[in-house]
Amino acid sequence: MSRKPIFAANWKMNLGPAATESFVRSFLEKLQGQTYPAEIVIAPPFVSLPKLAETLHGSAAGKEAESVQIAAQNCSDKDPGAFTGEVNVLMLRELYVRYVIIGHSERRSIYGETDAIINAKIKKAREANLKPIFCIGETLAEREAGQLETVLRTQITGGLQDIAEKDMLETVIAYEPVWAIGTGVTATSAQAQDAHAFVRSVLTELYGAETAAKIRIQYGGSVKPNNAAELMACPDIDGALIGGASLEPQSFLDIIVNGTKVQGS
């Protein structure tokens, strides 16, 4: 089963509009004339989305810009209304957003997002035809206590409650062990592959083998240019969600280049 890998930059609370414009100009210049067998996605902070859209879709952008998709880092689970500080999915659509990261571990641990909230956000995103990048992953304490599979299964079944098969085909899962996010500690390729295979087995129980084989599962957690190839060589790893190393155009591109060399070979 061939799944197109997806490399997504999660800039978190970094790179405002001016920095976004200079990143994109530099990144597109580096892409010049090159195509990669992968989807490339950038998730800037909300305030940088208009600048990202304008720089990618403006008249000055070349053909390379077409290979880059825009993502949001979060969305509201509510319809437009009195929700101070929130951003709804229709507003994201207006800014050419195609993907939305939902359930990142920072949203879960710092902002208290539960599986039920994450499930409501996935549903709302699909109502607007946005593609969720649904994040799951265990803490170090959970892994050490032998709870990896229980935690992942709970997050998957809770987050995907009542999500139809057709919507799952438009959903990407990001497996991100919390202990590897922003720490410089990467899961070994064996640890990552084992977790991805487990996630796919749960998807098989929920949606059947044919659908599960089509769903892309990204790895996230200290992915860098020098470990991308080994991770992407694993059969159940279909790209990466990248934080720190996506803040520099060259390092983000090097991850894509190294990651797709393996996938394509």
Which residues sit at the interface with ligand PEP, rule CB under 6 A?
A: 10, 176, 181-182, 220-223, 241-245
Nearer to ligand PEP, 122 or 135 (CB): 135
Nearer to ligand PEP, 64 or 97 (CB): 97
Nearer to ligand PEP, 5 or 244 (CB): 244
Q: What SS3 state is found at 246?
A: helix
Q: What is the DSSP letter of 263?
A: H
Nearest approach in angstroms of CB 148 to ligand PEP is: 18
Nearest approach in angstroms of CB 241 to ligand PEP is: 5
176 is catalytic: yes
Nearest approach in angstroms of CB 239 to ligand PEP is: 12
Tokens representing 119 are 């499930």
Q: Could you give the C-alpha distances from 70 to 64, 202, 219, in angstroms and in order?
A: 14, 29, 19
Q: Buried (b) or exposed (e) across 23-47, using 16+ Cβ within 10 A?
A: bbeebbeebeeeebebbbbbbbbee
Nearest approach in angstroms of CB 240 to ligand PEP is: 8
The CA distance from 3 to 26, in Å, is 28
104 is catalytic: yes
Nearer to ligand PEP, 100 or 181 (CB): 181
Contacts made by residues 48-52, CB under 8 angstroms, sequence distance 24+: 48/11, 48/15, 48/16, 48/17, 48/19, 48/20, 49/92, 49/95, 49/97, 50/17, 50/95, 51/17, 51/18, 51/20, 51/21, 52/20, 52/24
Nearest approach in angstroms of CB 180 to ligand PEP is: 6
Catalytic residue among 104, 106, 113, 138: 104
Q: What SS3 state is found at 20?
A: helix
Catalytic residue among 39, 64, 106, 176: 176
Q: Which residues contact 131 (CB under 8 A, 6 or more apart)?
A: 98, 99, 100, 125, 170, 171, 172
Nearer to ligand PEP, 72 or 241 (CB): 241
- Minimal CB distance residue for ligand PEP: 243
Catalytic residues, which ones? Answer: 104, 176
